[in-house]
Amino acid sequence: MSLLHVTIDGIPVEVEKGTTILEAAERVGVKIPTLCHIKGLMPDGSCRICTVEIQNRGRSKMDTACSAHCSEGDAILTRSEAVVKARRGILDMLLSNHPTNCFSCPSNGECKLQDLCYEYGVKETSCPGEMSNRPVDDSNPFFTYDPNLCILCHRCVNTCHKIVGCGAIDTMERGFESVISPAFGMPWRESNCESCGNCVAACPTGALTSKRKQNYRPWQVEKKVLTTCPHCAVGCQYYLMVKDNKVVGVEAADGPSNHNTLCVKGRYGSYDFIHSNGRLTDPLIKDRSTGEFRKASWEEALDLVASKFQAIKREYGNGALAGFACSRSTNEDIYMLQKMVRTCFGNHNTDNCARV
Amino acid sequence: MTNTIADVTRESDVILLVGSNPEEAHPVFGMQIRQALQRGAKLIVVDPRNIGLSKQAAVHLKLKPGTNVAFANGMMHVILEEGLEDRSFIESRTEGFEALRDLVKDYTPERVAEICHIDPEDLRTAARLYAKADRAPILYCLGVTEHSSGTEGVMSLSNLAMLVGKLGRPGCGVNPIRGQNNVQGACDMGASPTDFPGYQKVTNPEVRSKFEQAWGVSLPAEPGMFATDCFPAMLEGTIRGLFIFGEDPMRTDPDTNHVRRALSALDFLVVDELFLTETAKLADVVLPGISYAEKEGTFTNTERRVQRVRKAVPSPGNAKPDTWIFTELMNRMGYPQPHLTPAQIMEEISSLTPSYGGISHARLDSEELHGQGLQWPCPSPEHPGTPILHVGQFSRGRGLFAPYAYVPSMELPDESYPFLLMTGRILYHYNACAMTDKTPEIVEIAGGSFLELNDQDAARLGIADGDTIRVSSRRGTIETTARVSGKTSPGECWMPFHYLEGNCNWLTNAALDRIARAPEYKVCAIQITKA
């Protein structure tokens, strides 16, 4: 197949037919801002922020980089005066129906609209007027939808339909009345939503936000640790977000089996237990006469365990002991557990919960 | 899995889903199956319940629980009858075809329909769809394995895949969707009475001598006891001391009364845990271990993909890394085991386990892998890992057809216990929910036990949706809430296994798979009354 020749901000690039301008720009390292675009899905083309100027055969036109395909000879300008003006205009219009009291917004500091307005120097709208004033849907226990902060980019809808495949939400009504909602305007909690939170992760503003954000601000996260989800065997990759030595949230990573998606258990059910008050903090030894546990030192507990196991082995033979491993734990833990059984108990009475 | 999640969902024309509800039990896999259906792949659901995906299925065989072997034999009967088998694959890559052909001859669609309570035409449609597809994976889960005939069910599905040559290629294969995060790894690591790490057999003298040399001890030649066989042995007094690491059989094993009696009969029980679980409460000594967020290590996912687990936060109080606990105990019991880091332990694993030979923490963390992990077999540090098994040749050379006849479940409904009970998982919880019930929002959404009851049965018993009901089996009685719908067939019920109150395992039967020794969680007989 013959290649097309285009330039992006003067940088020549050869692309296959059907390549979008956004893809071509990414190939040569030119960053074009996007709000509604989700890589891998059909372009939504609704936010227009990726507008670029395309010059060809003496003509010049504006188009959205996410949806426009490259044509032979295109000279694409991503930061020309006309482009910057157009993007300012788009941001101006978005702000005409978006509050700017960012201090009290849970997404302050990680809002793409805020970042773009800052980058393009848009402080306020030049077209003040009526603003949406719709009720906030607070019904889902994990997240909140504030339609007044929604820019209708449809990232949540496209994520729910095309990536999650659940289809719990869609764009309801038309024009100024447009709103994202489950069917018939029913509360989120009563819909077929699975609370996976992938829509929340996709939201570029503060419209869909995790309620857990009340516990931290994005810039307070001290570190993000890439790890593997401890629930099912899909092996989703995610980051544990740590603040003050506590896990405060989870952010999906682009793992080979999850590709930036998570389920409700991975996103919300995988860290509260770490800091639960119910965690065991000391060895416990039971008084057989009372049936009560008492706290013990490691020294005492380990000595007791080792001596009791050895006594049983002496009295009843090697076959009288067994050790079960945990299939929720790491390979390294499990290897050492079976090694302990085989080398110290002197038998192969080891198994794991694969069967139960 | 013989294949990867990516290839079975992105490169398949038809998906044969048997005894698996991935939308709830493996949600992110389920999402990718939904994407496959949007792409145009066709779906065959074989499940006794209406699961979410059955709405999108081309065919839903709503079969009677415990009849998977008959179903698979019926599929093969139709395939052979209609000449849809892959002759060249059978001739060049398999053996034992004649025995299979002779066995499935008797499994006419009409006979199978009677055993499975399905329409014979639906079976024919399913067989044609699967056989004629260029690429079609079999995906299965506990609906196949948790039966007294579980292993036979798995072998029958393997026979089916071999018969149509759907193995060793992208978008095909026989793919168990494993349960827990590291159940694949736990089996790989030799937590098994018959196998050392990497499925090296205890009974093989060469293997044994390799481990004897590496560990500096002599090792017994006879295999040990399966966990599920240990419980009766505790009651008999054969097993007297038990170390349980992170398991809660008081909630997760079948027939809780039997488990309690067995654990209470022990001379000495030690539990290494995060929480004071129902099982830990019975222990003589409880040792505080640490969670996945407090340790370094690896999990092996259902695709045989080894991925890193990394320490994010310090552990609470005096809790200690589990490998520290084992090492201290080993030394106290007279075995000189130096303290090793998890990375050093993985070095020892790879030195003794050919399929993990090329796996190390350093490599998993390297730029080379871009966080993609390594899929075993990965025999050497240069090996890229193996996404698809049995390409060109089976591990044993030729694939052996292992035909099995259908045998009914051990405990079927009768006059006293007229309903059949299945158990399973829901979206919001994991197993005994030791982890998930610490998230208040999850408890708010899915806080309590329930039993799915067929609407016709409910009408007959005078039970309405939401009523409290008393459910009994020969082993125990619980109270739970009725959920009345057409999700299950008449005479069949379903319960989640997560909850402490109304735990279905007071009811379940400890009958075991004849080969793999897994309990028959999916079939037992119960009676139901309004509480």
Interval A163-198: pLDDT, tens: 999 999 999 999 889 999 999 999 999 999 999 999
Q: List the 321-350 stretch of B: residues with Cβ below 8 A of A.
A: 322-323, 325-330, 332-335, 337, 342, 345-346, 348-349
CB contact under 8 A, B227 and A352: yes
pLDDT at B514: 86
Domain for residue B124, yes or no?
Answer: yes
**A142 vs B contacts (CB less than 8 Å):** 441
A284-355: CATH class: alpha beta
Q: List the 120-179 stretch of B: residues with Cβ below 8 A of A.
A: 177-179
Q: What per-residue string of b and e applies to B379-412 under the rule 16 or more CB within 10 Å gives b?
A: beeeeebbbbbbeeebeeeebbbbbbebeebbbe
Q: Are residues B333 and B315 in the same domain?
A: yes
Q: List the 20-79 stretch of B: residues with Cβ below 8 A of A.
A: 25-31, 33-35, 37-38
pLDDT at A245: 96
**A188 vs B contacts (CB less than 8 Å):** none
**pLDDT for A271-321, tens place per residue?**
999 999 999 999 999 998 999 999 999 999 999 999 999 999 999 999 999
CB contact under 8 A, A275 and B287: no
pLDDT at B416: 96
Residue A264: phi and psi, rounded to 5, are -60, -35
pLDDT at A52: 98
Question: What is the CA angle B6-B8-B14, rounded to 5?
Answer: 145
**pLDDT for B306-331, tens place per residue?**
999 999 999 999 999 999 999 999 99
Domain for residue B406, yes or no?
Answer: no
CB contact under 8 A, A281 and B318: yes
CB contact under 8 A, B180 and A327: yes
Q: What is the dihedral of CA B464, B465, B470, B474, to 10 degrees?
A: 100
* Coil/strand/helix, residue B87: helix
Q: How many Å apart are CA A333 and CA B295, to the nearest integer?
A: 10
- Asked if B185 and A327 count as a contact pair (C-beta separation under 8 A), the reply is yes
ipTM: 0.96
Residue A1 confidence (pLDDT) above 70: no
Q: List the 477-506 stretch of B: residues with Cβ below 8 A of A.
A: none
Q: How many Å apart are CA B231 and CA B266, to the nearest integer?
A: 10
Last residue of a domain, one of B375, B395, B427: B375
Domain for residue B381, yes or no?
Answer: no
Mutation test of the interface with chain A: which of B333, B360, B429, B443, choosing the one with the most A Cβ atoms within 10 A? B333
Spans of all domains in chain A: 4-79, 130-275, 284-355
Domain count, chain B: 3
Q: Are residues B204 and B138 in the same domain?
A: no
What interhelical angle do B68-81 and B97-104 show, nearest 10?
100
Domain for residue B455, yes or no?
Answer: yes
Last residue of a domain, one of B375, B403, B433: B375
For the segment B220-244, the average pLDDT, to the nearest whole number, is 95
Q: Are residues B352 and B435 in the same domain?
A: no
Mean pLDDT estimate for chain B: 96
Q: Are residues B104 and B173 in the same domain?
A: yes
Q: Tokens for A308?
A: 């009791």
Q: What is the pTM of this model?
A: 0.95
**A335 vs B contacts (CB less than 8 Å):** 189-190, 197, 345, 348-349
Residue A162 confidence (pLDDT) above 70: yes
Nearest-neighbour CA in chain A from B68: distance (Å): 18
CB contact under 8 A, A225 and B180: no
**pLDDT for B143-158, tens place per residue?**
999 999 999 999 999 9
pLDDT at B515: 86
Please write down the HEC assignment for all residues of B310-367. Answer: CCCCCCCCCCCCHHHHHHHHHHHCCCCCCCCCHHHHHHHHHHHCHHHCCCCHHHHCCH
Q: List the 187-216 stretch of A: residues with Cβ below 8 A of B.
A: 194-196, 211
Taking every pair of C-alpha atoms in chain A, what is the biggest distance, in angstroms? 97
Q: Tokens for A301?
A: 């507990």
**B230 vs A contacts (CB less than 8 Å):** 322, 324, 349, 351
Confidence class for position B516, pLDDT limits 50, 70, 90? confident
Instruction: Say if B316 is an interface residue toward chain A (CB within 8 Å).
Output: yes
Domain for residue B461, yes or no?
Answer: yes
Q: List the 110-129 stretch of A: residues with Cβ below 8 A of B.
A: none
CB contact under 8 A, B186 and A352: yes
Q: Are residues B150 and B196 in the same domain?
A: no
* Coil/strand/helix, residue B150: helix
CB contact under 8 A, A328 and B246: yes
pLDDT at A169: 97
Nearest-neighbour CA in chain A from B90: distance (Å): 32
CB contact under 8 A, B286 and A284: yes
Confidence class for position A215, pLDDT limits 50, 70, 90? confident
Q: What is the CATH number of the domain that holds B268?
A: 3.40.50.740
B359-368, B497-506, B510-519: which is most confident: B359-368
**A355 vs B contacts (CB less than 8 Å):** 226-228, 513, 516-519
CB contact under 8 A, B430 and A325: no
Q: Are residues B170 and B200 in the same domain?
A: no
Domain for residue B389, yes or no?
Answer: no
Q: Are residues B151 and B165 in the same domain?
A: yes
Nearest-neighbour CA in chain B from A303: distance (Å): 7
Q: Tokens for B385?
A: 């890992």
Q: Tokens for B200?
A: 């090296």
Q: List the 174-233 stretch of B: residues with Cβ below 8 A of A.
A: 177-194, 197, 202, 211, 215, 217, 219-220, 222-228, 230
**B330 vs A contacts (CB less than 8 Å):** 339-340, 343-344
**B294 vs A contacts (CB less than 8 Å):** 274
Q: Are residues B120 and B217 in the same domain?
A: no
Instruction: Say if B377 is an interface residue toward chain A (CB within 8 Å).
Output: no
CATH architecture of A130-275: 2-Layer Sandwich (3.30)
- Asked if B432 and B498 count as a contact pair (C-beta separation under 8 A), the reply is yes
Nearest-neighbour CA in chain A from B523: distance (Å): 14
For the segment A104-122, the average pLDDT, to the nearest whole number, is 95
Residue of B nearest to A262 (CA): B28
- Paired with A292 in beta bridges are A287
Residue range(s) defining the domain that contains residue B428: 419-530
**pLDDT for B267-292, tens place per residue?**
999 999 999 999 999 999 999 999 99
Mutation test of the interface with chain A: which of B4, B8, B26, B31, choosing the one with the most A Cβ atoms within 10 A? B31
Residue B396 confidence (pLDDT) above 80: yes
Q: Are residues B357 and B262 in the same domain?
A: yes
For the segment B52-67, the average pLDDT, to the nearest whole number, is 97
E-strand ranges in A4-137 read 4-8, 11-15, 51-56, 59-64, 75-77
Last residue of a domain, one of B156, B177, B198: B177
pLDDT at B433: 86
Q: List the 61-90 stretch of A: residues with Cβ below 8 A of B.
A: none
**B435 vs A contacts (CB less than 8 Å):** 230-231, 269-270, 273
Domain for residue B111, yes or no?
Answer: yes
Instruction: Say if A318 is an interface residue toward chain B (CB within 8 Å).
Output: yes
Instruction: Say if B511 is an interface residue toward chain A (CB within 8 Å).
Output: no
Nearest-neighbour CA in chain A from B336: distance (Å): 10
Q: Are residues B428 and B365 in the same domain?
A: no
Residue A355 confidence (pLDDT) above 90: no
- Asked if B293 and A247 count as a contact pair (C-beta separation under 8 A), the reply is yes
- Asked if B226 and B517 count as a contact pair (C-beta separation under 8 A), the reply is yes
Q: Tokens for B158?
A: 């393997």
Q: Are residues B189 and B99 in the same domain?
A: no
Q: List the 229-258 stretch of A: residues with Cβ below 8 A of B.
A: 229-237, 240, 242, 245-247, 253-258
Q: What is the CATH number of the domain that holds B458?
A: 2.40.40.20
Q: Which residues contact A346 (CB under 8 A, 6 or more apart)?
A: A313, A318, B217, B220
**A257 vs B contacts (CB less than 8 Å):** 4-6, 28-29, 301, 303, 305
Nearest-neighbour CA in chain A from B92: distance (Å): 33
Q: Are residues B207 and B322 in the same domain?
A: yes
**pLDDT for A233-245, tens place per residue?**
999 999 999 999 9
Question: What is the CA angle A43-A49-A50, rounded to 5?
Answer: 60
Which of B35, B238, B296 lies at the smallest CB-CB distance from A165?
B35
pLDDT at A124: 93
Confidence class for position A80, pLDDT limits 50, 70, 90? very high
Domain for residue B195, yes or no?
Answer: yes
CB contact under 8 A, B268 and A308: yes
A4-79: CATH class: alpha beta
Name the nearest CA neighbour of B491 among B92, B10, B48: B48
